[in-house]
Amino acid sequence: GAVVSQHPSRVICKSGTSVKIECRSLDFQATTMFWYRQFPKQSLMLMATSNEGSKATYEQGVEKDKFLINHASLTLSTLTVTSAHPEDSSFYICSASPGLLETQYFGPGTRLLVL
């Protein structure tokens, strides 16, 4: 099956610093990747759709200047949480699919803790 990786798996940072999370599709190319956020015991909330070679599409209420997304290649999308604060602490998970009508496969997620 299709494999999506994420790095790092967990990160602890100080308030005010920026954190970059990478999402890679290992065995397929993905023109579109998705970034989700999940709070404890809650469902996944779509943050943005990452489009290779163009700007990301953000969901309503998600600050695009806070959560910078770069989809530099067909196998890599990055999410940068800028000037992180404790309320940004969460589980961030990405997904990608090999094609428009294909199943979405998820990365293992990144646990971010901002102190």
Partner 1 sequence: AQKITQTQPGMFVQEKEAVTLDCTYDTSDPSYGLFWYKQPSSGEMIFLIYQGSYDQQNATEGRYSLNFQKARKSANLVISASQLGDSAMYFCAMRRPGFQKLVFGTGTRLLVSP
Asked if 100 touches partner 1 (CB under 8 A), the answer is yes
* CA–CA gap between residue 91 and residue 109 (Å, rounded): 7
The CA distance from 52 to 71, in Å, is: 5
Using the Cα atoms of residue 83, residue 88, residue 93 and residue 95 in order, give the sign of their dihedral. negative
In the stretch 45-84, what mask flags binding to partner 1 with x, by CB under 8 A? -x--x-----------------------------------
From 34, 35, 58, 67, residue interacting with partner 1 (rule: CB under 8 A): 34
For residue 65, report the phi and psi dihedrals to the nearest 5 degrees: -80, -20
Which CB, 14 or 101, lies closer to partner 1?
A: 101
Q: Is 18 in the site for partner 1 (CB under 8 A)?
A: no
Identity of the residue, 82 or 109, whose beta carbon is nearer to partner 1 in the bound complex: 109
- Of 16, 27, 108, 115, which lies in the binding site for partner 1, with binding defined by CB under 8 A? 108
Where on the chain is the footprint of partner 1 (CB under 8 A)?
1, 32, 34, 38, 42-44, 46, 49, 91, 93, 95, 97, 100-101, 103-109, 111
